Amino acid sequence: MNTEPDRIDIHNRKHRFDLALRNLEQDPSICPENKQQINKFVAFCRANNLSLERQLIYLQKPHVAGQVLQGSIREGYEGFYR
């Protein structure tokens, strides 16, 4: 993760990020395909050295979308790319 050693995490983002990942895996309202897509995106964010703060935001947004959409996240967002 892209965190500086001398930076103090007063918002406990590392813990919140870990909880968000755990909640994603344990949420029965999100289909396995959506969980896989969200995890791939989080891995992409990590590979691009995004800050933990930004990763947390990006983890929480698709999680909500996965809960709302009954089908695949990919199918739900295809309309944006046409």
pLDDT computed for residue 48 by the predictor: 92
- The mean-pLDDT minimum among 2-11, 21-30, 36-45 falls in 2-11
pLDDT 10s digits, 32-67: 888 888 888 889 889 999 898 888 888 887 666 666
User: Going by C-beta distance under 8 Å and a sequence separation of 6 or more, which residues neighbour residue 24?
Assistant: 30, 35, 38, 39, 59, 63, 66
Between 68 and 24, where is the model more confident?
24
pLDDT computed for residue 26 by the predictor: 92
Report the alpha-carbon distance of residue 41 to residue 69 in Å, rounded. 17
Nearest Cα neighbor of 56 from 4, 12, 11, 16 is: 16
Residue type for position 82: R
Residue type for position 73: I
User: Hey, where are the domains in the chain?
Assistant: 32-81
